[in-house]
A and B are shown apart, each in its own frame.
Chain A
Amino acid sequence: MTGMTNSKLGIWLFLASEVMLFGALFSTYILLRTGAESWPHGSSLLNVPLATLNTMILITSSVTMVMAWASLMMNRFGRYRLYMGLTVLLALGFLVVKGFEYGMKLEHHITPATSTFYAIYFTMTGLHGLHVLGGILVNGYFLFPGSRLWKTNPKQFTGRVEAAGLYWHFVDLVWIFLFPVLYLL
């Protein structure tokens, strides 16, 4: 197909399936919330400052990711390493902050079984967290062993990083909706 690599079409089809996966959970959330007699305000139960910090971390990591790709497009491999390294570090930072949040809840014996609200909170943020972990593994691979491809086939390597980037921006996009829906409303 002209102008469209298999990897790009493939990653978009995968992201389409991800939209359906998260869509099912958002749909479930809406139904449970509208069907419930009362629903707690997210900010009264969850830590908004920590989640705001995590939102900023994830947005920043999205920029460093796209900068990593742009660096390869400009033939600057050193810069790519720097931006990709930052992306992985920021993603790890997100998980550390999330870990603190989970830790504080578990300390107070709050689990998914506590209430429907917490069941939804742990399920949706947990699934999102798994996606962050997946992003760390993929981006970590392209940061170190996977980057060997740059020497032999830079165009293909740039394409792979672009696909990894599309996935990473999607993970950011999901959080952009999760944050207000769970924490602020």
Chain B
Amino acid sequence: MSHDVAEIQKHVRLYVTVFAALAAFTVVTVGVSYLHLSTMPAIILALTIATIKGSLVACYFMHLISEKKLIFIVLAVTLLFFVLLLFIPSLTEGEAIFKNLRHVS
């Protein structure tokens, strides 16, 4: 990261823009919740907006967009374990669903 004042001022303008986007997305996500969509579209929409907001925070406030490769390796490993963490318990749930299906047929 350069210590150049002009460059930091450019960053500051970007931070303000990101803030406006985050505020707008918050309004959208609350507004959409009042539409009472059915469960699946509601979950997909809410999580998509949250992911966009989260990415904005990570990329710009946490400077991930201009970060060193090593940080990405750390995050990739974390993401892998996070997905495993979600996947392994859902295997047991999947088995239960499978058993129920067999029971029905």
Q: CB-CB contacts of B14-26 with A at 8 A, as 1s and 0s?
A: 0110110011001
A87 in the interface (beta carbon within 8 A): no
Give the docked Cα–Cα distance between A176 and B26 (Å): 9
From DSSP, what is the main secondary structure of chain A's interface residues? helix
Q: Smallest Cβ distance from A125 to chain B, in angstroms?
A: 16
Contact assessment for A67 and B43 in the assembled complex, using a CB-CB cutoff below 8 Å:
no
Q: Smallest Cβ distance from A11 to chain B, in angstroms?
A: 10
Q: CB-CB contacts of A2-17 with B at 8 A, as 1s and 0s?
A: 0110001100110010
From DSSP, what is the main secondary structure of chain B's interface residues? helix
Q: Smallest Cβ distance from B43 to chain A, in angstroms?
A: 6
Contact assessment for A23 and B82 in the assembled complex, using a CB-CB cutoff below 8 Å:
yes
B70 in the interface (beta carbon within 8 A): yes
Contact assessment for B77 and A16 in the assembled complex, using a CB-CB cutoff below 8 Å:
yes
Interface residues on A, range: 35 or more
A185 in the interface (beta carbon within 8 A): yes
Give the docked Cα–Cα distance between A10 and B57 (Å): 20
A75 neighbours in B (Cβ, 8 Å): 5
In the complex, which residue of chain B has the Cβ closest to the Cβ of A17?
B78
Q: Which positions 58-95 of chain B face chain A at CB distance < 8 Å?
A: 58, 61-62, 68, 70-71, 74-75, 77-78, 81-82, 85-86, 89-90, 93
Contact assessment for A74 and B5 in the assembled complex, using a CB-CB cutoff below 8 Å:
yes
Choice from A62, A70, A180 contacting B8 with Cβ under 8 Å: A70
* A60-B19, A63-B15, A176-B57 given; A4·B70 CB < 8 A: yes
B18 neighbours in A (Cβ, 8 Å): 63
Q: CB-CB contacts of B37-50 with A at 8 A, as 1s and 0s?
A: 00100110011011
Choice from A3, A20, A56 contacting B85 with Cβ under 8 Å: A20
* A3-B68, A4-B68, A59-B22 given; A70·B15 CB < 8 A: yes
Q: Chain B residues in contact with chain A, CB under 8 A?
A: 1, 3, 5, 8-9, 11-12, 15-16, 18-19, 22-23, 26, 29-30, 33, 39, 42-43, 46-47, 49-50, 53-54, 57-58, 61-62, 68, 70-71, 74-75, 77-78, 81-82, 85-86, 89-90, 93
Known A12-B75, A59-B22, A73-B1; 15 more pairs at CB < 8 Å: A1-B70, A4-B70, A12-B74, A16-B75, A19-B82, A31-B90, A52-B30, A63-B61, A73-B8, A172-B57, A179-B29, A180-B33, A180-B46, A184-B29, A184-B46
Q: Chain A residues in contact with chain B, CB under 8 A?
A: 1, 3-4, 8-9, 12-13, 16, 19-20, 23-24, 26-27, 30-31, 34-35, 43, 48, 52, 55-56, 59-60, 62-63, 65-67, 70, 73-75, 165-166, 169-170, 172-173, 176-177, 179-181, 184-185
The 4 lowest CB-CB distance pairs between A and B, nearest first, are: A180-B46, A184-B33, A16-B78, A63-B19
